Structures are given as C-alpha cells and as structure tokens.
Amino acid sequence: MGGALRAARERRRRAGMERCDLGERRQGPVWTRRAGAAAPRGVIVNIIRSVQGYHSKTIHFLNVAFDSSGDSLLAGDRQGNIYIFDLNGNRFNLVQRTMQACTALAFNLRRKTEFLVALADYSVKCFDTGTQELVSWMRGHDSSVSSISVHGSGKYAITTSTDTAQLWDLDTFQRIRKLNVRQSVGIQKVLGVLSQDNVMRFINIETCKLLFDIGSPEEGISTAVISPNGQYIASVMENGSLNLYSVQALTQEGNKPPPSMLKVVQDGPKYISEANKLITKVTSGGSKGPWTSKGSKIQSRLLKLQANTSLENKENELPGGLNKKRLRALLKGFGEYPAKYRMFVWRSLLQLPENHLAFSSLIDRGIHSAFINIQKEYPIKSRKLLRVLQRTLSALAHWSAIFAETPYMPLLAFPFVKLFQNNQLICFEVVATVVVNFCQHWFEYFPNPPVNVLGMMENVLAHHDKELLQHLIKYNVTSQVYAWPLLETLLSEVLTREEWLKVFDNIFSNHPSYFLMVVVAYIICSRAPLLHCYQAADFEYFFHHRNNVDINVVIKEAYHLMEATPLDIHPQRMLDDFTPLTKEQYPVFNKYPTFVVDYKAQEREKIRQDEIEYLRERQLAHESAAKAQEQKAEDEVWYRKQKLLREAQEQRRKILLEEEERLAEQRQRLAVAKTELKVKELQLLDASRRRFLNYQQDQLQMELKRLDDEIARKASMRKQETAAAIQDIVLQQMELESQKQRFEQHLIQDQEAVTKEMKEEVDAHRRKVDLEDQRVQRLIEINREEIQKAHTVAEENLAKAEQKHIDTDWRLQAQRRLRRDDQDRQKCYQEIVKLLHDNRVKEAELLKAMRETEEKKWEDVVHKKAQLEEEQKVAAAADEHRKQFLDDKMNDALELAEKLQREDGCSGEHVDNTERLRDLKATCTERGVEVQQVPRSGNIHLNELSTLASSPRRSLDRSRAELARQERELMAEVRRLRQRLTAQAQNRHPPTRIPATAWSP
C-alpha cells in the first residue's frame, strides 16, 4: 500500500513538472512557464531529446557544465550534439555536432564564448559557441578523459583520465606538463554526495544534517554539476534525460517540518502456516493490522533475536557486512537477488580484493597484440563496450599468457564486461575469479576442450538420465557438442539477460561444482526436444541458440543433482572449494601446458614480424611508385608548357603575317593614288620591305632553332645525369661487393690455415691412437680365440666321457661363456678407460711440450736435438717391444696349433695352416730386421736433418704399414684355424637340441 501511495505521488509530481523535448530543433525556448520556487521537488524543467522515425528512441545526455556566471548551461548527448541553455533568456541552441560521445565538458574559460569538450577518441577540443568553429585540438591522453577542471582565471586547465592528469595552457593550447595527481576536490560548507542508490544528498558539514536530496531510486542520477553562483543544479538522469533544479526551491522544501512518525512493532504468532505467516516489522507511518511479507514493498527490517555468533557464522561472514547463509536463504526464498543490490552482493560473494596498483600495472602494458584487431572478429556497435572488452582481455593476457591463446575468452568475459563496463577493475577481478574457481581444470588439455571436466558431466548425466545419454551417443553427439558450448559461453548464448543473472546469483552462492550441475540440469530439462533431434546440425543449433526452457526448473534441478549425485562421481570431489583472489598482488596462474602456449606465442610474434616487414616493403613500393608518378607528372607538365610555347609562337607569327598583309594592301592603295613620278621610290620601298621581311623570317627561324637546341641540350643533360647517377650506384654496389668478397676471402684463408693446422695435429694423434687400438684389439681377439679353443677341446673330451649328461653340461657351458664374456668385456672396458685416460694425459703433456718447444724453438737447438735422439730411442725400444710381443704371441699360436694337430691326428689341412703360420712368422721376422736397419743414430749433423728427415720417415711408415698388414693376415689365419677346429669338433659330437636362450654378442 505504501508503494502504491509513493507511485501516485511520483505520477502527480511528473504531471506538474515542466518538460522540454529538444527533438531535431536547433534552437527554441527551454520552458513555456518558469516553475520558480514552487517547483515540485525543486525541478524547474526536465529536458529530453527524442528522435522520431521507424524506431523512436530517446538520446541520452552524458555530461553537463555551467559557465562562470552560472546563467548558461552546456550539455552533451550520446550522439555528440552540444547544446547551450541560456537560463535567463529561456533559450537553447545547438552549437556543435562532434559525431562522437563526449566524456567531459568545461564552460568556464576566460573567453566566455569558448568551451572544452573531451571526446571518445581520447582528445580534447575547444569550440566557439558564437562562430561554432573549432578553435583548437589537444591530444596526449591514452584513455578517455573523465573530467576537465579549469582554473579560476580561465588560463589553465587540467584534464584527468584513468592513467594521468595533464596541465594545459589555454592561451596557446599547449601541454605544460603531466601530473601524477588526480583532480582535487574543493571542500565547502555544503557537501553533495552521490550515493550508491543514485540519490544525491546535500549535507551541512558543520552541523552534519541533511539539507535536501535530489533524485530517487526509480529515477537515479548518473552525474551532476552545480552552477558557480549556487542557484542551479543540473543532473543527468539514468534514463538519459536532463533535470534542472532550483536550489532555492530545494532549500524551502527541505525546511518544511517533517511529518509525524510512529513506529509500530508487529509480532505474529509462532505456529502459523507458511502461506499466512506473519513476521515482525518496524514500519514508518500509522499503526496497521497484521500483513504478510509479500504484500508490500515498503522497506522494513526483521527484528530477530540473535544468539551468540558461532564458528559457522564467522565462516559465512562476507565483506560489506553480509552473511553468506542469510544470502542463501534469501536466494532460496526469492530465486534471485534484488537487481539494485545484485552487483554489491556479487562483489561480496566473490570477495574481490580490488588491487588497484596491480590492475594499473596490467593496464599500463597496453593492448595485447592478440586483441588489437578484436573488432574484426567481434563487431560490437558500442565503442565504449568494445574498448572495455579489449582492455579486460589484454589485462587477462598480461596476467597469464594462456588467455591470449584461448579462443573462447571473449565469449566468456563479454557478459561481465557488459555488466561492469563502468568499473574496469571490478570487471577484471570478477572474470579472473570466475576463471580461477569456476573454470578449474579447463586448461590442462589446451588447446583441446577440458575432457576431464566434460567426462565428469557425462558421468553425472549417465547416472541421472541414461536414456538421454544413449540417444546422444547413438547420433555421435559427444560432450564437446552438448556441454562444451554451454561452458565456454557461460550459458550466455542460450539464456536471456534476466535468466542469466538469476542463474549466476545461484552459481556465485554455491560450490564451484554447482556451475557444472546447472549445465547438466539444462540438458536434462531439455530432454524432450533433444530426443526428437536426429541430425548433428540440429544438436549444434540447439546448444547455440535460446530455447523454451524454464530457468527456475533448471535451477531447481541443479540443486537436486547436487544432493542426489553419488560422491564417487560428484564434481565436488574433483573441484576445489572457492578461493578468492589474493590482495595486493594477483596469484600466479600457470595450470596449463606452457610449451603449447609459448610455441603459439612465438609463432604469433614471428607472423607479426613478417607482417611488419611486409607492410614496410609495401610502403617502400608505394613510395617508389608515388615518386615515379610525380616524376611522370612533372615531365608531362614540362612537355605541355613547351607545346603551349610553340603554339603561342605560331599564333604570333600568324598575327604578324596578317598585319603585314594589311600593311601591303594599304601601301598598294597608296601607290595607285600616287603619280608615276614616285615609281622609283616605291620600288626602293618595296625592295626595302622585302629585305626586312627576309630578315624577320631569318630571325624567327634562328630563334626556333635556338629553342630546339636548348630543349635537346636539356634532355641530353638529364639523360647524362641519370646515367651518371645509375653508374655511381652500380660502382658503389661493385665496391661493396668486392670489399665483401675480399673480407670473406681473408676469413676463409685464416680459417683454412687454422683448420689445416688442427687437422694435421688431429690426424697424427688419430693415427697413433688407431694403431694402439688395433694392437689392443688383436691381443684381445687372440686371447679370446685361445680361450675358446681350449674350451672347445674341453667340451669335446667332456662329450666323449659324459654323453648322457650333455644337455646339462651344455647349459652350464653356456652360462660360463656368458659370465666369461661379461668378464672379458669388463676388462676390455677397463683397459679402454685406462687407455683413454692415458691418452688424455699424453695429449695434455704433448700440448704443454708443444708450447714449450714453440717458445724455446730458436733458443735451444742442442736441447731439441737431444730430445729428438731420446724420442728415436724410445720409438726403437717400443718397436722392439712390440716385435717381441708379436713373436711371443706367434710362438704361442704355433704351439697351440701343433698341439691341436697332434690331438686331431695331424690332418693335411692342419699342416697347411701350421706351415702358413710359420711363413707369416718368417716374413714378420724379415720385416722386423728391415725395420731395425732403419738408422736411428743421433750422430746426424744438423745441416743434414733436412735431407735425411723425409726418406727414413717414409721407409719407417712403409715398414710399419707392412708389419700391420702381416699382423692382420696372421690374425685372420689364426681365426680361420679356430673356426675349422670348432666346426670339426661339432661335426664329431653334435650337441643335442637346446631351447633358444639369449646370447651376448
């Protein structure tokens, strides 16, 4: 009832209010009659601008400003139209069309007819109201200008944006400096406060009493400004209209005695049915009977006795004095939060930290490269909305690199951007909180959809509606078709604004798993139309468009799923509890495969660099083409001038001829009139005239010839200059190329010299190491062959003695061979490691000796000679030792072969092998004698070293090569002999079949 009375009073107030509709008029009166002090609630006039057409609409005013006298008012609307209102003269005029929305106005400059307007393109312009012309254009802000403050002298102005404040000189319109402080607020005796309920209240700061207020929750105020003389208040309303208040009328209305107030406490019985339940309320007004909680909209407060606060209540306490448990109870009763307080409730539920410094650091990094051209993919009409979306996404991308690569991030963030477009910090923190808590595990399989989350939803759907899941599986509709589109858009594609807000009231009030349950509930509630879909295109269309689904039923079903789902498949078991963002600094978000994101970022940067290079080359090509066109145009103009000059000369020559013809006719008429006595004179005159004409013709021809020569000379000079310039460029290129080639040749020569030296050193060392390795390998092979032969003989003897146990003996022998091979391999490895270590030590010593030799090369020749003799002796001893070692091994091989020959009956083949071994031994002995005959004496004079150094070295190398060849032949012959002996032993005593075992190589 109280709400109805208030609505009636509001209608009567509007009926008595003066209204002015500007429409398409450029000028006219502001009001038909001035309201004066008797204006309802102090409103002198309500100014709107409506546009008639196919779709009639009202254009919203955005900003207002008074001049220094307070008698004129400047207002700008959303379309960029600037109106001036003369309050004393009761006139308005359209002074400017900026074609873009204004963000701030200032009308108190020193030149009374000029005003400043801040536009949506971050610039500030100065216009003249009298001439309606642009006076100056000031740029320098990187974000929209929120306010313009002009000094009392009108000479300076400060323009303030979200990131900086700049001081301007209004005489020269030049920026003086950038300031790091915001616009100051002057304190007067009366303080005007625009509250959160969009009501502006004026308080006496000395007595702290409320003087008056303007606006109402139904008609909220967006912004307001007070005239310098304190007589008027201009406010832009939330509906886009412009209200002009009289301060005198407001103060008179505020000084009226307040109405009597009676507070009545109403108590209802405890045990009454829920439909007729009475609650205790405190209301303003007279005493009334009992009434239900849903019967009126008058603000009231429940009087409820509270017990001592428990630990549970402390956990439910939220910022802003709210209680999560009470909010859930309110949500359960009404299904949604009040629209007026929804944003406040959301901020409390999400526990936003409001990190201004951290958010500013993200914004200061600028627009991320991934979202520079976002308007091409998402063509949003509202430039403000597009700009806020671009900045929010850029801040997310600077916070974590995964959001720059996520294709659905604009779809996920857009609903919150649309809601919080006037507060970018809250918008960013809401989106970040949603991503951290309600999008858990979404990015673990990036760039693929979160199959783990979709798997949880599919398990829930299979438990509660198996028939629907079987129908989806039958037509190859996976969770990426029926669940992922709803998740990545946060249900914004399939719900209206009111439905979406209601759903997220419940999502933000519950565990993060409730969001997944809402999606599953939406699918279950849509089972009837889904069961009638049989094509993949129908399913895709269904989950990307709005459908006839009751959202209250979906919310109720989601709560049912939260309670009825078993714990083993419940998403709550896999998802963490709600965790708010940390204060001061935002948490690190790295729950994604970093290598994929880094690779994509590198590829994008590479593409961006290629694009920049391509644009630069295209710009150069355009500039070259423009220069060519300009040169061509200049040539055409010159030829055109020359043609006009020739035509003018021809025309003057024709005029001259015509004049001469007329003169001849006159003289002819004069000659007829004269007497015959002057014939001779006429003849003389005629001859003189002919000579004069000939002279003029000669002069004209000479002049034309001179002009032609001048033209040819200029053309040849231009060609010569062009050829010379081209030749200079070619010569410069050839010089650069030759310098480059010389430099490369020097580098190649230096590199080849160094490479040759290193190669010689490495080859010498490699030959030495290879020779030692070959000898070690020969010794290892001979040892292995002897051991194998001995074992073969043992196996043959054992096979003759114990034929019945051959299988067991064979297995034992195989194990022994494996163990023996391992031991041999271990010894070989140890020897190789030892040789490698010795080689390293020798290499170090060799390098050290080479350095010392190089330093003392010309200082100590005698020491070098002694060192050479010592090395020759050491080499002779080493050769002798190797020869003795090979002789010993050869004798051992011969003895072994003779022994085997005696045991096997002295076959002819063994005799041949034995003879061959002896021949090889004799050959090796002869080679050794030849090697020993190489002179190794150190008694060679220094002057003979150069002639004798080459020949002994070559003969020594040949002898060593021959010795190595003989050694290889000897080892090959020993290997063949061993193979034949093994084959004969196997033929005499074939082993029984043994299962395949793993043999070591």
My answer on whether omega of the bond before 257 falls inside 30° of 0, hence cis, is no
**Residue 650: what residue type?**
E
* CA separation for the pair 731, 383 (Å, rounded): 56
- What's the pLDDT at 184? 41
DSSP state of 379: -
- What's the pLDDT at 921? 57
- What's the pLDDT at 265? 39
* CA separation for the pair 561, 461 (Å, rounded): 10
CB 279 within 8 A of CB 248: no
Biggest CA pair distance of the chain: 176
Closest CA to 446 of 411, 404, 396: 404
Please, what sign has the CA dihedral across residues 562, 567, 568, 573? positive
Tens-digit pLDDT profile for residues 209-226 = 777 888 887 788 888 888
Indicate the burial class of 36 (C-beta count within 10 angstroms; 0-12, 13-18, 19 or more). Answer: exposed
- CA distances, 563 to each of 462, 517, 869 (Å): 16, 10, 99
- What's the pLDDT at 768? 81
How many C-beta atoms lie closer than 10 Å to residue 811's C-beta? 13
Please, what sign has the CA dihedral across residues 545, 546, 550, 556? positive
* pTM value surpassing 0.85: no
The secondary structure of 682-699 as a DSSP string is: HHHHHHHHHHHHHHHHHH
Tens-digit pLDDT profile for residues 529-542 = 999 888 888 888 99
The β-bridge partners of 237 are 221
**Residues of the chain scoring pLDDT < 50:** 1-9, 12, 182-188, 257-311, 906-907, 909-910, 924, 927-949, 951-952, 992-1001
Tens-digit pLDDT profile for residues 114-130 = 899 999 888 899 999 88
The secondary structure of 99-161 as a DSSP string is: SS-EEEEEB--SSTTEEEEEETTS-EEEEETTT--EEEEE---SS-EEEEEE-TTSSEEEEEE
Q: Kindly give the pairing relationship between strand 317-318 and strand 61-66.
A: unpaired
Q: Determine if residue 903 is left, alpha or beta; phi over 0 gives left, psi from -120 to 50 gives alpha, anything else beta.
A: alpha
Closest CA to 334 of 555, 557, 124, 169: 555
* The total number of residues written for the chain in this structure: 1001
